[in-house]
Amino acid sequence: MKKLSGLFIVIILLVSCAKETEQAKRFSGEALGTTYSVQFFSENDLNFEKAMDSIIDEINTSMSTYTTKSDISRINRGDSTVKVDEHFRKVFKASEKIFKESNGFFDPTVGVLVNAYGFGPEKRLMEIDSVTLDSLHALVGFDKLTLNADNTIGKENPLIYLDFNAIAKGYAIDVIAEYLEKNEVENYLIELGGELRARGNNLTNSSEWIVGIDDPLQMEGNRSLYAKLKLENTAMATSGNYRKYRVDSLSGERYVHTVNPLTGKAEKSNLLSTSVLAENCMLADGYATAFMALGLERSKEMLNHLNGVEVYMIYSAENGDVEVFSSQGFEKQLVE
């Protein structure tokens, strides 16, 4: 259930107002395999770029599967002596929470199946028979992992592969926000790989922070928005199968394939994208991925049991039309 990093990007918009009152400090660059953009208002002279480099280095050392010497890479190779840091523990516990709330549909161990079906970065298997599926499915299940009292990770099977890609970007944004707030920054907007967190206002325009949600059906090179909303002291993450949908030749319905972690099988889903508002970006990131795996109806059921979580789901109806389900809280944030 890996996030398709970089395929679904939320565009940041600024609302123009009559008089500019203050200029934001702006920083942008590359981090965690994607791009970031941060703007904030502060009278203090912060060495933000140095702090950003330090934060990203810490998170990579802890949880990057692309760094061979990272804690998660060593754990994935079967090293049971690794003692994980606070970053890893927070993400592990949040993943465990969402895994339970979603009845297993959010699962950071599902990567072996995602790759096998050709939905991930690794080469797909040409044929998946029942024996192969059973052997791969035996390696899936976040409940087969434990965070031990000594901060080591226990695995029922040493071959289980752990990947926090679906939640780590959101967590990184929260760490950046924590740094800014510790330095008395009260107005900021952070974007990393399309995930967002905002506080206060855009003082340049004396307005709220306004952000946009990409149209999941837009053509390559043709950037268009599906909706705009105010981001007020909250975080937003979007997950989607951006331009990865198929069209049923008879009904015209658009659908995507997603892996069911419980059965190990690839299933059709009419849910094209999900944007989530939550108190922090780590949870928003994880819930967005969970809802994409659950599909529209099961996501609605899960939403009934969550507090402080709002959603905006773009889906394909049976007649082929593209429609939206928006929770009341999300609806209130939408702007023309």
Q: How far apart are CA 54 and CA 36, in angstroms?
A: 15
The band of 246, judged by pLDDT with boundaries at 50, 70 and 90, is low
User: 67 and 207 in contact (C-beta within 8 Å)?
Assistant: no
User: 288 and 278 in contact (C-beta within 8 Å)?
Assistant: no
Residue 307, pLDDT > 60, answer yes
User: Cα separations (Å) of 65 from 145, 164, 325?
Assistant: 17, 8, 34
Tell me how far the alpha carbon of residue 208 is from its chain's centroid.
23
3-state secondary structure of 165: helix
User: 201 and 149 in contact (C-beta within 8 Å)?
Assistant: no
User: 203 and 270 in contact (C-beta within 8 Å)?
Assistant: no
User: 289 and 164 in contact (C-beta within 8 Å)?
Assistant: no
Pairing of strands 235-240, 225-231: unpaired
Q: What is the pLDDT of residues 86-118, one digit of tens each?
A: 999 999 999 999 999 999 999 999 988 887 877
Please tell me which residue, 239 or 123, carries the higher pLDDT value: 239
Q: How far apart are CA 152 and CA 85, in angstroms?
A: 10
Q: How far apart are CA 236 and CA 198, in angstroms?
A: 9
Q: What is the pLDDT of residues 165-219, one digit of tens each?
A: 999 999 999 999 999 999 999 999 999 999 999 999 999 999 999 999 988 776 6
Q: Which of 40, 21, 326 is nearest to 204 (CA)?
A: 21
Residue 237, pLDDT > 90, answer yes
DSSP symbol at 307: S
- List CB contacts of 234: < 8 A, sequence separation 6 or more: 197, 198, 277, 278, 279
Q: What is the pLDDT of residues 110-126, one digit of tens each?
A: 988 887 877 666 677 77
Tell me how far the alpha carbon of residue 217 is from its chain's centroid.
19
Q: What is the pTM of this model?
A: 0.89
What kind and span of H or E run contains 272? strand 271-278
Segment 146-160 mean pLDDT: 97
Say what the pLDDT of residue 10 is: 47
Alpha helices in 183-280 (DSSP H): none
Q: How far apart are CA 72 and CA 78, in angstroms?
A: 10
Tell me how far the alpha carbon of residue 131 is from its chain's centroid.
32
